Structure formats: structure tokens, C-alpha cells
Amino acid sequence: MKPIVILGIFVADTAYRAERQPKMGETILGQSFALGPGGKGSNQAVAAAMASSGAGGEVHFITRLGRDDFAAIARATWAKAGVRPEVTEDAESYTGAAYIFLEAATGNNAIIVSPGAAARISVADVEARAGLIASAACFVTQLEQPIPAALRGLQIARAAGVVTVLNPAPAAELSDEMLALCDFVTPNESEAEALTGIAVTDVASATQAAAALLTRGVGAVIVTLGDKGALYHDAGRTVHVPAISAGPVVETTGAGDAFNGGFAVALSEGQGVIEAVRFGCATAGISVTRPGTAPAMPARAEIDALLARN
């Protein structure tokens, strides 16, 4: 099998669980704290590596790290999951970190990301791995690292005939040139609204937003809809794939990353696109039953078992 190559950032997640966020100038007591691995690209790489384990898959992750304790967390996380790091070490910066507030009653979250060294991921970093990207079955990126680097990765992948997936998170203004390089774009509701100006509240409005993105050159759009599953839309069909529940929801922070990692694995294995969306939904469905982001990503056997039950 050809590898999956993911470009993105690693940050150390500092997660605080409380009844509510403090007001400006206020201090409140939290219910728990956890330090762990995060960053959308890193989470997606871990999800993909876990989901392809035992199936012969190979997942490479392109990023930048500082030389510090948080970088050690990154490398240990990738080693445990089977991710192959493609790291530029940056002694002039620091490994990034994220503040994550978790609402105790719902598991919903609010996040601040300080990417550190990953904010300095450059076009040159990407071009140094051009051969790796061109050899991939699937290239995945997001928008936490600088957009020029993501654009260059998509250009290299498209020129080599590699399947391209853009997870447009966090939401940012994107050129039609960049969107036209994407076989698949995978926004959530708020990101789809930011890209199109169409408020996404249900399957119908998700379809409208997806259709608007198609007019800008995207090959296909998958709007992830949380507990409503995902909406797939291309020039020929529109399919709503329901969520696949694996149990009570504990935390939703890594759900989108779980979906994207699982989706990339299924695509790289040659599964049909709707089957790949279902695989992504199953991966996400398991991840939300556990605390954390990368540590919540399920193994392949768990995903296959959940799909078999559904």
C-alpha cells in the first residue's frame, strides 16, 4: 500500500474541565486537568496510524517542533501509534501548546492554540518532502500551519495524481486556486458557514453549503455534522451518512480529527467514498466516548467491530 502523508501541527493540549469558562478578571475552580498530545494534524496522523494498524498502512506526518519537553511528548505519541515523523527541528522557537476548556455537563469545548515552531512550517519544509508526498495514496492537510505550506503540499500531491484532502480548520479565507486542488474538503458546520456564508444547521443547509463549495472547484465536500453524522456531496450525488454511536459521549474535542484520519485510511485502502465516510464516522463515534484527543483514537479492530454491528 502507498502511504498516507499528513501535513500539520503538533501542540501539547492543556485541558481544563469546569462548569463554565471564567469571565475576564475572574478565577474559578476547575474539576480536572490533563496534559496530552494535540494539534489537528498530529491527531489526524495518530487516528490514521491507529486505524490502519494491522492493515499494512503507513502514515507519515510532516511538521516542526522545538527542542523541549513538549517535543518529547510528540515523539512518544507518534511512536506509540506507529506514526512516522517527518520533523524539522526549530531551536529558535518552542513546541506549540493549546488551552482547551471542557464544559463539564456536555463535553463541549473552546480552544486557544499557540502553534510555536509549527507556525514557522514553510514551503521549503514541504518541498523537502516532495518525493514522499508524490508517492502517497492520500495527502491530508489543515489550516493550523501557514497556508502557503498547505497550498504547496496540495500542489505537489495534485501534480503526482495523489488524492488530496483539505480539512479547512480553523476556518480561514481560501482562494479558488487552493480549493480547486482538493479532491475532498471536510469542514464542520461552522467552517462550512465561514467558507460559504451559509449557516449550516441541518442536512439541507449543509447540502447548500457543499454545493456552493463545489462551484469554487472542489471535487467533493463532506460536511461533518456532529451527532447528525456527515453529509457527502459531489457533482453526481448527495448522501447523508448517519452518525455511528459507540456509547455515551465523554468529549468531542478530537472527533473531527478522528473522522479525517479514518476517512483517509479508507480512501487509501481503495474503499468506496461512501464507505470511507462511514469508516470516518465510526472512527469518530468511538473517539468521543473517551477523554482526550490523540489518546482517544481507536484501533482498527474496534472500528471494524463497530461497523460490523451497524
Report the b/e string of 260-279 with b at 16+ CB within 10 A.
bbbbbbbbbbeeebeebbbb
Q: In degrees rounded to 5, what are phi and psi of residue 23?
A: -75, 165
Residue type at 246? A
Q: What is the four-CA torsion angle of 189, 194, 200, 201, rounded to 10 degrees?
A: 70
Catalytic residue among 13, 90, 183, 257: 257
- Show the cell assigned to 257: 480529527
Report the b/e string of 180-200 with b at 16+ CB within 10 A.
ebbbbbbbbbebbbbbbebeb
Q: What's the burial of 219, exposed, middle or buried (CB within 10 Å: 0-12/13-18/19+)? A: middle
Q: d(Cα 33, Cα 174) in Å, to the nearest integer?
A: 35
User: From the CB of residue 252, how many other CB atoms can be counted at a distance below 10 Å?
Assistant: 18
- Show the cell assigned to 271: 474503499
User: From the CB of residue 290, how many other CB atoms can be counted at a distance below 10 Å?
Assistant: 17
Strands (DSSP E) found in 40-158: 59-65, 84-89, 95-103, 109-116, 138-141
Q: What is the DSSP letter of 118?
A: G
| Annotation marks residue 227 as catalytic | no
Q: d(Cα 16, Cα 225) in Å, to the nearest integer?
A: 25
Catalytic residues: 257
